[in-house]
Chain A
């Protein structure tokens, strides 16, 4: 097997006495979609913040393309090719949709061959926002803003894309469309993806492998089919059988 594109070793983060993430390992192969699920407060977003450089880990390492990148600042990781999106979308409200994407296109992967000003309209086209280029993000629907969040991340030409609940919160039709978009990002752009998602049909159908977090620990990992049968996972989501049968 070839070396993984991204590998995380014993990554931990403590906030005071609270261990938000406890010695989590993961590996992401090139072209893979890895789903991350877990109950609220399991440490999923913390994991992303540590990998993407928004937070400094308490301990552990992150290697990207075989090189250590632990604790490197977010804007430097973006240039290397790791970019994240946020669960609560954060468009630059004072810039138009196109300008939002242009800012991202200015930076990002240094190996990119297309100049920034051509890249931004193409990316908007890819995510289906081309007709909204001149509008301000405040006029977009939630699904539209999620697409913008995706476009901004894609404009940096990432190798690894960390998607924090891009599908959750939109209506079922939009959810299907966004899931299709995520698949196209992997299939057509070849981007490797780690996605946190609560919408189970989406995460189960998109992911090659799924990692389950609970209370900051990795409790299971495997194909979607394996994970849903895992007794530990069922317990984390539904509680133990005695509790489940209690009145």
Chain B
């Protein structure tokens, strides 16, 4: 630890981040991914982005949403419709999808008068009503037969880097948020909305802002998802399973931490891919069990567990170093 005023981004963190992203960026050439693993990693990037963005709301701000599938679906369908409507560049379509989802997330604004679990229950209702509306709005979503996008193998290949880019930006944003006065205010709102107001924090402003940011990122990841899989269907995109997945990933990884949602999303993708193939009936049960264990024994999830191990390693090393230099 240096005594000087800490830089906004310490060199060690920045270097680690850049190296990590660079390694992942060249990985497809070096590791010669099979389509299967390419699929898995790209999906992981999209889910990482979504989980990290969910965590801004659920972890930093303390507004646990069970309705984020509405934003994922919104981004997916808006960008798919744009891509089907004519020669729109794909990145523009994703961006517009994200922006629409971001603005759309303000639909949850009235629910802000509810707190804690009541807010969460309201988001279940909002998410489900959005799913039903879009399932029946066949002109827009194609109803239960969904929408098919033209299959473009080049695009599918490139989406690996688009997904990585999105995940990298979002993780970077998460780090900056957590270490800035902006994040400090979000944590204050999480601790006590009224007390935050009493010291001058405009809770509603920050809540709305984080809704929009979180919604936009989840919307963009929905758009990328639509382009990657070339087929989307409202009951899947807006499904409650998907909303739950955002919560599960973040809780398994560690609510309110930076690395947590990343780890959670990776574990989630791996578990799901393996279990869905072998034991399709069992996989939700396993997540449930995992969730119970995490809440009971390590509320900060995998990130908390890693932190604990790191401290343990340090305390092992420290006495050893003292003994080694008599």
Task: Choose one: A75, A79, A84, A156; the contact of B203 (CB below 8 Å).
Answer: A75
- Of the candidate stretches B114-122, B190-198, B291-299, the one touching chain A is B190-198
A204 sits at the interface (CB 8 A): no
A67-80 Cβ-contact flags toward B at 8 Å (1 or 0): 00000011110110
**Contact indicator A156/B200 (Cβ below 8 Å):** yes
Which of chain A's residues has its CB closest to B185's CB? A103
Docked Cα-Cα span, A152 to B190, in Å, equals 17
Q: Is A42 an interface residue (CB 8 A)?
A: no
Known contacts A73-B197, A116-B181: A92-B188 contact under CB 8 Å = yes
Specify which chain A residues have a CB less than 8 angstroms from the CB of B177 in the assembled complex. Answer: none
Asked whether, in the complex, the Cβ of B187 is within 8 Å of the Cβ of A79, the reply is: no
Q: Annotate B178-212 by CB proximity to A: 1 below 8 A, 0 otherwise.
A: 00010011011011101111111111000000000
Residue among B187, B191, B195, B203 with most chain A CB within 10 A: B195
* Main DSSP-derived SS at the B contact region: helix
Q: List the B side residues contacting A106 at CB < 8 Å.
A: 181, 184-185, 200-201
Contact A102:B197 (CB < 8 A) given known A93-B191, A95-B188, A95-B191: no
Closest CB of chain A to B8's CB: distance in Å?
A: 12
- Looking at the assembled complex, report how far the CB atom of A158 sits from the nearest CB atom of chain B, in whole angstroms: 10
Size class of the contact patch on chain A: 20 to 34
CB distance from A58 to the nearest CB of B (A): 20
B198 and A84 form a contact (CB under 8 A) = yes
Q: Is the CB of B200 within 8 A of A95?
A: no
Q: In the complex, which residues of chain A have a beta carbon less than 8 angstroms from the beta carbon of B198?
A: 52, 54, 74-75, 78, 83-84, 86
Tell whether A86 pairs with B195 under 8 Å between CB atoms, given A92-B187, A95-B188, A102-B184: yes
B190 touches A94 (CB 8 A): yes
Q: Which B residues are in CB contact (< 8 Å) with A103? A: 181, 184-185, 188, 196, 199, 201
Within 87-116 of A, Cβ neighbours of B (below 8 Å) are at 90-95, 99-100, 102-104, 106-108, 116
Contact of A108 among B185, B196, B199 (CB under 8 A): B199
> Given the complex of chains A and B, what is the CA–CA distance between A52 and B199 in angstroms?
11
The answer to whether B200 and A92 have CB atoms under 8 Å apart is no
Q: Are B195 and A90 in contact (CB under 8 A)?
A: yes
**Closest CB-CB distance, B291 to chain A, in whole Å?**
22
Count chain A CB atoms within 10 A of each CB in B187, B195, B199 and give the residue with the most.
B199
Q: Tell me, yes or no, whether A227 is within 8 Å of chain B by CB.
A: no
Count of A-B residue pairs with CB < 8 Å:
76
Contact status A99-B199, CB under 8 Å: no
A155 touches B188 (CB 8 A): no
Residue of B nearest to A108 (CB): B200
Q: Most chain-A CB neighbours within 10 Å: which of B181, B197, B201?
A: B197
Instruction: Tell me the bound Cα distance from A116 to B182 in angstroms.
Output: 13
CB atoms of B187 and A94 under 8 A apart: yes
| Min CB–CB distance A93 → chain B (angstroms) | 6
B199 near A78 with CB under 8 A, answer yes
Contacts of B195 in A (CB 8 A): 86, 90-92
| In the complex, residue of chain B having the shortest beta-carbon distance to the beta carbon of A153 | B199
**B188: A residues at CB distance < 8 A:** 92, 95, 100, 103
Interface residues of A in 119-178 (CB under 8 A from B): 152-153, 155-156
Known: A102-B184, A106-B181, A106-B185. A152 touches B199 (CB 8 A): yes
Residues of B within 8 A of A75 (CB): 196-198, 200-203
Given that A90-B192, A90-B194, A116-B181 are contacting pairs, would A95 and B199 also be in contact in the complex, using a CB cutoff of 8 Å?
A: no
0/1 per residue, B17-29, Cβ < 8 Å to A?
A: 0000000000000
Excluding A83-B200, A92-B188, A94-B187, 12 further A-B contacts by CB distance (< 8 Å) are A54-B197, A74-B197, A75-B198, A90-B192, A92-B187, A92-B191, A92-B195, A94-B191, A95-B188, A103-B184, A103-B199, A156-B200
**Chain B interface (Cβ < 8 Å from any Cβ of A):** 181, 184-185, 187-188, 190-192, 194-203
A-B contact pairs, 26 of them (CB 8 A): A54-B197, A73-B197, A74-B197, A75-B196, A75-B198, A76-B202, A83-B200, A84-B198, A86-B195, A86-B198, A90-B195, A94-B190, A94-B191, A95-B184, A95-B188, A99-B184, A103-B184, A103-B196, A104-B199, A106-B184, A106-B185, A106-B200, A107-B200, A116-B181, A153-B199, A155-B199
